[in-house]
Amino acid sequence: MGKAKRAALEPAAGDDDALVALLAAGLRLQSSDALWRVSGNTLPHRALLREAGGAWNRLDQCWDFLGEDPIAKLAAALRAAPTPASGHNSGEAAPETPHYWGHRARVRERVIKSGVDALADYELLELLLFYAIERIDTKPLAKRLLERFGTLGDVFAAEPAELREFEIDQKTLILFRTAREAGRRLAERKVKDMPVLTNWQQLIDYCHAALAHEKTEQFRILFLDRKNVLIADEVQQRGTIDHTPVYPREVVKRALALNAAALILVHNHPSGDPKPSRDDIEMTKEIRKAAEALGISIHDHLVIGRKGHASFRSLGLLS
C-alpha cells in the first residue's frame, strides 16, 4: 500500500487567507500526501466543489481531491461566488437556511427513538429514498410518487418507463424492486410449512403481496398436502392484462407430480376489480372436474385485486 494511503489525514496547511476563506464558508480540510478531503457545510457549495475537481465520498460524507492542493482554487471560487446576502439591500435580512438542511438526520433520529410504525406512507418512502438519492430533499418526490401511483406497492411495482418522468435512476429502481421482493418473502414465511386453512388471513396477505400490483395476469397454484400444509406455490401461466390461458390437464399433472391432496387456485386482475369473470368461473369448473376425478380437492379460487380479493368459496361458486 502506498504512502499516501497509509498516511493519516491531518488538518491542511496552506495560505492563511485561503484557509480563512474555507473556514468562513463552514468547510474543513484535511490532507495526506496526495489526498485532500473537504467536509463540514458542503451542501451549499457542492456545485463549486464538483467543478473544482472534487468527488463525493458517500462512505465518509466528504469531498475527495486527489493530487494538487485545492485550497487556493477553492478559496478563489468561494470569493467569486455570490454571498447569501447578494442582491439585497443592506437593511434586508439574508435568506434563511433552507428548511430541509439537517432534515435527514432529524428523520433518522425520530425513527431510532420511536420506530417506523407511526410513519405515514410518504415518510416511509422518503426514508427509503435517502439511501438511493444523495443530498436532496426527497419528501416532495415521495409525495409525488404516491400521488401518481396510489400506494407504496404500486410505486415499488411501477415500470421503468413510468418512473422516467420522475428521473428515477437505476439505483432507485433496484431499491424499489428489492423492497417489493422483501415484502413478498416476509409474507411467504408466514404461510410456508403451515396449515394454510388455519392461517387464512396470512394466506390472503401473501397472495396480495405477490400479485396485487402485477401489470399482467398470473395464474398461480398453491399445492397442499393431506394436512393442508403448503407444499409449493407456483406460477402456472402468465397472460396479458386481462387474460391468462389455463389448461386443466397441466394443473392436474403438476398436482400429481407433487403428490398434492388439495389445491388453492389464485390469479390477479390487473384492472383492480377482483370480481370473478364468466371465464374465471368456467375455467374453475373445468379444473375442479379434472382434479376431483383423481381425488384432488379444490379448496378455493382467489381473485386478487389492488384493494381486495374475491373468494369463490365465499361467493358460493364452489358449492
> What pLDDT, on the 0 to 100 scale, is given for residue 100?
52
Rounded Cα distance between 287 and 282, Å, is: 9
Considering only CA atoms, which of 51, 55, 52, 29 is closest in space to residue 40?
Answer: 29
- Note the CATH architecture for domain 194-311: 3-Layer(aba) Sandwich (3.40)
- Whether residue 243 is predicted with pLDDT greater than 70 in this model: the reply is no
249-256 own/partner pairs: CB under 8 Å, 24+ apart? 249/290, 251/221, 251/287, 251/290, 251/291, 252/287, 252/290, 252/291, 252/294, 252/296, 254/221, 254/223, 255/221, 255/223, 255/291, 255/294, 255/296, 256/294, 256/296
Give the pTM. Answer: 0.60
Residue 269 contacts by C-beta under 8 Å, 6 or more apart in sequence? 217, 242, 275, 303, 304, 305
pLDDT tens across 82-139, in order? 654 444 444 444 445 555 556 667 777 777 888 888 888 998 999 888 888 876 778 8
> What pLDDT, on the 0 to 100 scale, is given for residue 242?
61
pLDDT tens across 19-76, in order? 778 888 888 888 877 788 888 878 778 888 888 888 888 777 788 888 788 888 888 8
Measured between its terminal Cα atoms, the distance across the chain in Å is 75
What does the mean pLDDT of the chain come to?
83
Residue 4 contacts by C-beta under 8 Å, 6 or more apart in sequence? 32, 33, 34, 35
- Whether residue 246 is predicted with pLDDT greater than 80 in this model: the reply is yes
> What pLDDT, on the 0 to 100 scale, is given for residue 84?
47
pLDDT tens across 250-288, in order? 999 999 999 999 999 999 999 889 999 999 999 999 999
Domain parsing of the chain, residue ranges: 8-80, 103-186, 194-311
Residue 140 contacts by C-beta under 8 Å, 6 or more apart in sequence? none
> What pLDDT, on the 0 to 100 scale, is given for residue 12?
53
> What pLDDT, on the 0 to 100 scale, is given for residue 310?
95
Rounded Cα distance between 220 and 265, Å, is: 6
> What pLDDT, on the 0 to 100 scale, is given for residue 234?
92
Cα distances (Å, whole numbers) of residue 144 to 119, 140, 148: 17, 6, 6
> What pLDDT, on the 0 to 100 scale, is given for residue 28?
84
